[in-house]
Amino acid sequence: AAGVIQSPRHLIKEKRETATLKCYPIPRHDTVYWYQQGPGQDPQFLISFYEKMQSDKGSIPDRFSAQQFSDYHSELNMSSLELGDSALYFCASSFYRAAEAFFGQGTRLTVV
Amino acid sequence: GQQLNQSPQSMFIQEGEDVSMNCTSSSIFNTWLWYKQDPGEGPVLLIALYKAGELTSNGRLTAQFGITRKDSFLNISASIPSDVGIYFCAGQRANAGKSTFGDGTTLTVKP
């Protein structure tokens, strides 16, 4: 079965650069969630979208923005990167904001 | 903010033993979820619980939604080496698909 696809899997950026992470949800899923997971930490909710509209916002820095496109894929844009932004970034998707969300394999961002 | 406390933080068990871990919260959740995460991978959903008191099984896994709606537990029976990983509980409020995650229980299984 198709799963959530995230790209790239790994990304290395320098401080103050920008990064764009992409997420392709499971087919027919209309809800996308973004989470950030630091080393040894639990995933922290950043932002979510339902039917291309922002549905909830968590601890997402102002330097980050995200959107969901007409084909339901989502992109997380990160600007003015800081060393502390180094983390695993996960996208999850569900149908109609269902509780059962399925996670992608993540993008490991390293800021140097 | 909301905080989910998982215990124990880590467990070291022998293959074949049963495992029990739990998750408690200071506030009520309407849905409880249990995930397993392998290093460098995304969390994989194991069990979802929707009603207070609900007891649900998935193979060797059994989870329960506490009647106070502030806690949940996960049992793994007859552990095997591939059970190794980090187990996260997650809670959701009504009409909010986002999950608040616990701090995880790291399970090590010795063959």
Digit-coded pLDDT (tens) for A20-32: 999 999 999 999 9
pLDDT at B41: 92
pLDDT at B93: 87
- Over residues B3-47, the pLDDT tens digits come to 899 999 999 999 999 999 999 999 999 999 999 999 889 999 999
The CA distance from B79 to the nearest CA of chain A, in Å, is 23
Q: Is the pLDDT of residue B97 over 80?
A: no
Please provide the DSSP assignment of A33-57 as one string: EEEEE-TT---EEEEEEETTEEEEE
- Where are the extended beta strands (E) located within chain A? 5-7, 10-13, 19-24, 31-37, 44-50, 53-57, 64-68, 74-78, 87-94, 102-103, 107-111
pLDDT at A4: 97
pLDDT at B2: 56
Q: Give the residue from chain A lying closest to B50, CA to CA.
A: A99
Express as a percent the part of chain A with pLDDT over 90: 92
Q: Quick one: average pLDDT of B82-98?
A: 89
Q: Is A104 on the interface with B (CB under 8 A)?
A: yes
Which residue is it, tokens 């929707």?
A: B50
pLDDT at B94: 74
CB contact at 8 A, B3 and B25: yes
Q: Give the residue from chain B lying closest to A48, CA to CA.
A: B98
3-state secondary structure of B109: strand
| Distance in angstroms (rounded) separating the CA atoms of residues A82 and A103 | 25
pLDDT at A2: 80
| Distance in angstroms (rounded) separating the CA atoms of residues A13 and A21 | 12
> What is the pLDDT confidence band of residue A1, given thresholds at 50, 70 and 90?
low
Q: Quick one: average pLDDT of B55-68?
A: 97
Which residue is it, tokens 């329960």?
A: B64
Q: Quick one: average pLDDT of B96-109?
A: 91
| Distance in angstroms (rounded) separating the CA atoms of residues A73 and A89 | 15
Q: Specify the amino acid at residue A31.
A: T
| Distance in angstroms (rounded) separating the CA atoms of residues B82 and B79 | 8
Task: Output the CA–CA distances (angstroms, integers) from residue A56 to A30, A46, B6, in the order listed.
Answer: 14, 9, 25
> How many C-beta atoms surround the C-beta of residue B48 within 10 A?
21
Q: Is A53 on the interface with B (CB under 8 A)?
A: no
pLDDT at A98: 82
Which residue is it, tokens 């969901």?
A: A68
- Over residues A46-72, the pLDDT tens digits come to 999 999 999 999 989 999 999 999 999
Express as a percent the part of chain B with pLDDT over 90: 89
Q: Is A101 on the interface with B (CB under 8 A)?
A: yes
The CA distance from B7 to the nearest CA of chain A, in Å, is 14
